[in-house]
Structure 1
Amino acid sequence: MSMTSQQSPAQPAVPPKSNVRSSWPIYVVAALIAGLVGGFISLFFLADSLAALGIPDPGRLTTFGLPFFRAIAWILMALSIGSFMTTAFFISPDIPDKDNFRLNEARLTVDGFIAKRTGAVAAFGVAIIGLLEAPLVMSDVSGTPIGQVLNVQMMSMALEQVATAQVWLITTGIAIVVGVLALVNNKWSMQPVLFVLAVLMIVPLGMEGHSASGGDHDYGTNTFLWHLLFMALWIGGLLGLIAHGRRLGPDMSTAVRRYSTLALVAAGAMVISGLINAAIRIEFSDWFTTRYGLIIVTKTALTLVLIFIGFVHRQITMPQLKKKPRLFLRVSIVEVAVMAATAGVAITMGRTPPPPPRDPNLNSMQIVMGFELQEAPEMSNMLTQFRFDIMFGTIGLVLATLYAYALWNLRKRGLSWSKARTTWWMLGSLGLTVYMSTGLGMYIPATYSMHMLGHMVLSMVFPLLLVLGAPLTLILEAFEPGRPGKPTIHDWVVALTKSKTLAFITHPIVNVLQFLFFFWVLYLSNDLYQLAISEHAGHVLMNFTFLISGYIYFWEVVGPDPLPKRASTIIRLGILFASMPIHLFMGVYLMQLTEIMGLAYYQSLEIPWPHDFLDDQKVGGGIAWGFGQFPLAIVFGKLALDWLREDRSESRFYDAKAEVEGDIDMDEYNKMLAELNRDGNQGHFRQQ
């Protein structure tokens, strides 16, 4: 019998304090291992490499301190992510009356509170290191000793001109927000939000470094970002799990099972993304003959060791979890040490000069975009070109796979599902992969007109198709609710659809404003548009914004998935009529605009075909003006059907009510007519 089954609800058993162990020593040791590995590799193996390339020596303090603190920051980011992952998805909160439908009202248990506090402290640690990294980065890139950098002039220069210092500042800002929100909120409903925000801490840093420059840098950046994301989930999840076990938290077997699935996916994703990134950066022959290659080999070997330890967990420690929980924790602590060393090695890659590029004669388009386009965009050549999009192509395939898995689970339960909804979802998810991986997506960063076409498709086509697939409804039907007080993915989705935050975002007025805001604000400022398109990170951020904004908009307008409060069909029709003309007006504005948006960026591409920038911009404005007609047909058709169903439903309701109670309204109406008729007859008789 488990410990929780022996506890009385009135007097819960509390583990003896002597058996509960703090996990902070493990966190400190893991951070020190990562920092020392990164610092010593940089100190003893990279200094002469930098000197050979003519890069000034900033001094030992910077040479050691930069990777040392960066590695510690990565461990703290992983710890923050893992802590909020634990509070959101591994630890069951204190739900009122054990009613999972009241999950949004749940507060954290003592175990969850400690995990949440750990995530907050780790986030503040990231913020402190972020402030330290700015002068260290400036010292490194300028070859100036750290003591001479600590002045207003040098720091202003770092924050204005050095991209790495800027992204550390952004990360610091996100970390402070995470820490503050975590300290002031003890409800479960905030934990998934904190988890997402904690993940966002790693995004700015994933967009800079060697992977963000040179040929194929779009592949390099995207694979590097995937790699860091899954590394943080893998390390952070295990740290959260170890802490949960050392606190003698309940439902350890459930937490381990959930983490085990995540770790398996993370391991595969790390290996694939790491190998792709390495293949882009260097030739295989350089793996054993250059220091950059040897670092890759070391990191790969450590990752394989981690995969082996994961296999040991599945085969040996997990089956004995209830009998020998300490065995699982001991093996996990060893695993964390190897993970920390892996992170330390990985950090040094950002400062290690890679071998010379395999093709030193890159043209401007390859340097700026990462790949080359040789012909003007035409439907014939765009459909025949293919270059898999590591970011959005992968997301499309993952969405299709997860939907298929939910369908498979639904069939196991003996339930059926709408073929139309499946078709909509597959068109949206697989269509996203095809669009972004063919010439249609490849030309998005090359010309204004193709950028605008991509904007319209990503914000008005694929979100609409995905919304009509009703993924949340599928999850609700494919997965059973959890036991009382033990929520599962079914209950998490129910909580999402009843969320006050979602209710605010999908309020008709707020929804229209957010949908139009991201359209208008981007194109009304040439400086902002220039900044957004000049970097690969800007393109990725814009595309994500278009997809998410469009999904929220169409979810409220025509989505079959439940919402906290959905406006009536007539109001949603009003929303559509109000928002679409504004899109059309913006298209007219862009067609009449004489200032060329993003001219400096488009000129830097040195487009190899004859190209009129102003005419191309007018074409883009025409696309914005006319493209809205495509989704309107589907949206109007869906709303018309909804209106018809509502009218029929109301008619059936009143008919049924009339059969039981009598039609009061009709009786009153007939009574009024009878009185009018009687008064009329009396008046007629008086006249006679």
Structure 2
Amino acid sequence: MDEQVVAEGSGGVSSPVNKSQVKSSKVRITWPFYVLFAFVAGLVGAILAWGFLSESLASLGIPDPGPMTTAGLPFLRAVGWIVAALSAGSFMATTFFISPREIKRSAEDGPQKTSYLNRSYLSVDGSIAARTGSFAAICFGLVAIVMIPMVMSDLSGQPFTEALKLQNWAIAFEQVALAKAWSWVAGFAFITGIAGLFCRTWLAQPLLFAGSIIMTVPLGLEGHSAAGGDHDYGTNSLLWHLVLMLLWVGGLMALIAHARRIGPNMDMAVKRYSIIATYAVIGMAISGIVNALLRMDFSDLFTTHYGLLVFAKAVGVVVVGMFGLAHRTFTIPKLEKDPKNSALFTRIAIVEVLAMAAVTGVAISMGRTPPPAPEIQDLSVMALEMGYSLEKEPTLLNVFTMWRFDLMLGTIGIMLLAFYMYGLVALRRQAKKWNHMRTFWWVLGCITLVVTVSSGIGMNMPATFSMHMVAHMLLSMVVPVFLVLGAPLSLIMEAVAPGKPGRPGLHEWAAVMTDNPLLKFIMHPAVNTIQFIIIFYALYLTPLYEIMVSEHAGHLIMNFVFVISGYVYYWEMIGPDPKPEERTHVSRLAWLTFSMPFHLFFGVYLMQLQVILAEDFYTKINLPWEVDLAYDQLVGGGIAWASGSFPLIVVFGYLFRGWFREERIVEKNYEARAESTGYADAEEYNRMLARMNEGHDMHGDYYQETFESKDKGKDKE
């Protein structure tokens, strides 16, 4: 009999394994491949950027900064994107691909709550992946620090050694937008990386995964796509492109490491990644086409350097997509039969990532290659500031005839609707019922979201304060109410069966979103009320509004904050989805009543405000119709007062009706219990009153006799 050792299996469960099996499947290191991937991406980017150097410098009108910047900038930027993808992919793996240690559920864990996942720690394989993601984030932060003087050198034409001087760093932070973006990248990357080194619970991994995505966002808000006409489309399409690239490239690198560590559940991990990669490739293709069409015409595809790079990148994406098809056709079926047989997957995946690295290098070189000059170069100030021009003054009717689809929140609205419909189809297949009113509210919420950001409301939102306030009220107080009443998390938990032991899936992840310590803290009535109210005052009572409204990035951030803050607030107030702690309708009514004066006062404050918010920006865009900024702000304050109080009154009525129903239920339960016990409680209550009455009579006789004896004594005196 072979000697046995104990190895960690699925979800951290220990199981006996033969030593001969361990020798035949030796754990192998992966970091040399990470270095190879980064080097290939950097080398391709540096070679292409060097080849197009003369054209770039001539277009920009700057002197040659020297070989250290010319080759170093694209090389470092490509390396940075590879390590950023490695960080995002590693945290994505610890969140969705690698199961945590399985622990026994307690008696408190009901069918709708899987809080055992909140208490789970990462397995050995998950801990290694998390450490990889943390070090990759820290490396990305170091690259970002070096990129600050590198960008300064590239844009000014001075040698890199000169840009390294401290006085030039101050100039870079003050005058160079891309240098500011890299400084933000460094801050987010260091926070994510350092936090990841100390977090070993599963519950922290989704937050670290989000951090690894957020640390790249500042770069998506700068560059070719963030300048000139249609820069709203350019920026949004680039953000989609970059985020999907992180998931696509990073996820595959994480799977290679997982396979070389002989990680458990390899078949499950590859299958889940395959789904993500399929949608990522489709999304990258669509966003890439949109971004390319904004920068050049089809005739420029083979006649300009920029067009050739676009074509080379498109070919590279198709080639890498063929590798993905090979995985679906050959490797996944083999892994489902034998999860430990990952050699074929690893060999194909390594070649695939090398191709991805080359494509990344091509994409990086595009950042230093100027796109073809547009045919129409006399863009208005409005088009330069907003990305497009407005020709009609908005009215109650024509705002719904204007249309400019929002690539960010508009796309998200369509995706949310598709996700919900998929869940309903899954329920129907299982012959399960679902409340049709919930479907109605969700569909209405998705449609309202798309219409708000894509119609004339969204188009005029950056142009005037009054239209900004209309959009703000819709995104924070109307759309969230509709979406919350759709109960999406309950739909997931109802439509998706729980995962097998040690293999949590969509059901468990949705359940964790309804029951975790962070949500419990945020949904405390005091915290939730403050976070919802403070957004109004912090945005409009400080210089923050003028900063945010003048940049497309600011509009994106505001829109997301409005929707997310409102969703959390109304989820706690009226949401049918489970919560960490269910409070009575009376309690929620009390907190709502407490918050209403703050909302009403905010609108009144805006109407009485004498200072015009963001006056310089609104004056600069030079609208084709006359706008009285003071009156427009007064109208905006009135909109905030009226439209802000109306949803709160509706919610107040909803909670009041719920309170009435609670009282009716209590009354019915009491009547049913009384009938079943022959009104024993009522009889006992009557007897108690009778005893109290008898005691009162006895005390009354005693006091009367006492007073009479005292009166007799006085008479004798």
* Aligned match of 1:556: 572
Residue aligned with 1:483, SS? coil
In the TM superposition, residue 24 of structure 1 has moved relative to its aligned partner by 0.9
**Alignment partner of 1:256 is 2:262:** no
Return the match for 1:599 from 612, 615, 618: 615
* Aligned match of 1:283: 297
1:351 and 1:667 map into 2 onto residues whose CA distance is 89
Change (3 A) 1:8 1:545: closer
* Aligned match of 1:300: 314
* Aligned match of 2:593: 577
**Alignment partner of 1:478 is 2:495:** yes
Instruction: Decide which moves more: 608-617 or 640-649.
Output: 640-649
Deviations 1:614-637 (A, max 9, x none): 111111111111112331343123
* Aligned match of 1:540: 556
Residue aligned with 1:628, SS? helix
Deviations 1:56-108 (A, max 9, x none): 21111111111111111111111111101111111111021277541111001
Change (3 A) 1:296 1:649: same
Deviations 1:260-302 (A, max 9, x none): 1101100100000000110011011011111111110110110
Return the match for 1:187 from 201, 210, 222: 201
**Alignment partner of 1:198 is 2:212:** yes
Return the match for 1:521 from 523, 534, 538: 538
**Alignment partner of 1:232 is 2:246:** yes
* Aligned match of 2:631: 615
Task: Count how many residue pairs are aligned between Structure 1 and Structure 2.
Answer: 685
Q: Please, what TM-score do these two structures have when normalized by structure 1?
A: 0.96
8 Å CA contact 1:20–1:247 kept in 2: the answer is yes
8 Å CA contact 2:417–2:442 kept in 1: the answer is yes
Change (3 A) 1:330 1:8: closer
Change (3 A) 1:131 1:464: same
* Aligned match of 1:83: 90
Where do residues 64-213 of structure 1 align in structure 2 (5 Å cutoff)? 64-97=71-104, 101-213=115-227
Residue aligned with 1:372, SS? coil
AA partner of residue 83 (structure 1): S
Change (3 A) 1:9 1:151: closer
Where do residues 219-618 of structure 1 align in structure 2 (5 Å cutoff)? 219-321=233-335, 322-323=337-338, 324-525=341-542, 527-618=543-634
Deviations 1:228-286 (A, max 9, x none): 01011000111111111111111111111111110110010000000011001101101
Return the match for 1:670 from 649, 674, 686: 686
AA partner of residue 446 (structure 1): A
AA partner of residue 374 (structure 2): P
**Alignment partner of 1:13 is 2:30:** no
1:380 and 1:10 map into 2 onto residues whose CA distance is 66
In the TM superposition, residue 390 of structure 1 has moved relative to its aligned partner by 0.7
Q: Superposition RMSD on alpha carbons, in Å? A: 2.2
Instruction: Decide which moves more: 140-149 or 634-643.
Output: 634-643
8 Å CA contact 2:11–2:102 kept in 1: the answer is no
In the TM superposition, residue 647 of structure 1 has moved relative to its aligned partner by 1.7
2:310 and 2:83 map into 1 onto residues whose CA distance is 23
In the TM superposition, residue 674 of structure 1 has moved relative to its aligned partner by 1.1
Change (3 A) 1:294 1:561: same
8 Å CA contact 2:12–2:102 kept in 1: the answer is no
2:217 and 2:298 map into 1 onto residues whose CA distance is 28
8 Å CA contact 1:50–1:353 kept in 2: the answer is no
Residue aligned with 1:390, SS? coil
Structure with larger Rg? 2
Change (3 A) 1:60 1:661: farther
2:119 and 2:700 map into 1 onto residues whose CA distance is 69
8 Å CA contact 2:532–2:569 kept in 1: the answer is yes
* Aligned match of 1:63: 70
AA partner of residue 619 (structure 1): V
Change (3 A) 1:596 1:188: same
2:192 and 2:594 map into 1 onto residues whose CA distance is 36
Residue aligned with 2:22, SS? coil
Residue aligned with 2:333, SS? coil
Gaps of 5+ in 1: none
Where do residues 33-52 of structure 1 align in structure 2 (5 Å cutoff)? 33-52=40-59
1:217 and 1:682 map into 2 onto residues whose CA distance is 90
Gaps of 5+ in 2: 1-6, 107-113, 706-717
8 Å CA contact 2:138–2:189 kept in 1: the answer is yes
In the TM superposition, residue 48 of structure 1 has moved relative to its aligned partner by 3.8
8 Å CA contact 1:282–1:358 kept in 2: the answer is no
In the TM superposition, residue 402 of structure 1 has moved relative to its aligned partner by 0.3
AA partner of residue 320 (structure 1): K
Residue aligned with 1:13, SS? strand
In the TM superposition, residue 130 of structure 1 has moved relative to its aligned partner by 0.7
Residue aligned with 2:52, SS? helix
8 Å CA contact 2:69–2:160 kept in 1: the answer is yes
Change (3 A) 1:461 1:250: same
What is the aligned-residue identity percentage? 50
* Aligned match of 2:662: 646
2:227 and 2:137 map into 1 onto residues whose CA distance is 29
AA partner of residue 92 (structure 1): S
AA partner of residue 99 (structure 2): S
1:227 and 1:655 map into 2 onto residues whose CA distance is 62
Deviations 1:109-152 (A, max 9, x none): 00000000000000000110010000001111111101111112
1:243 and 1:602 map into 2 onto residues whose CA distance is 52
Instruction: Decide which moves more: 207-216 or 373-382.
Output: 373-382
8 Å CA contact 2:10–2:503 kept in 1: the answer is no
AA partner of residue 269 (structure 2): A
Deviations 1:629-656 (A, max 9, x none): 3313431232123212322333344445
* Aligned match of 2:713: none
Change (3 A) 1:8 1:26: closer
* Aligned match of 1:31: 38
1:204 and 1:545 map into 2 onto residues whose CA distance is 17
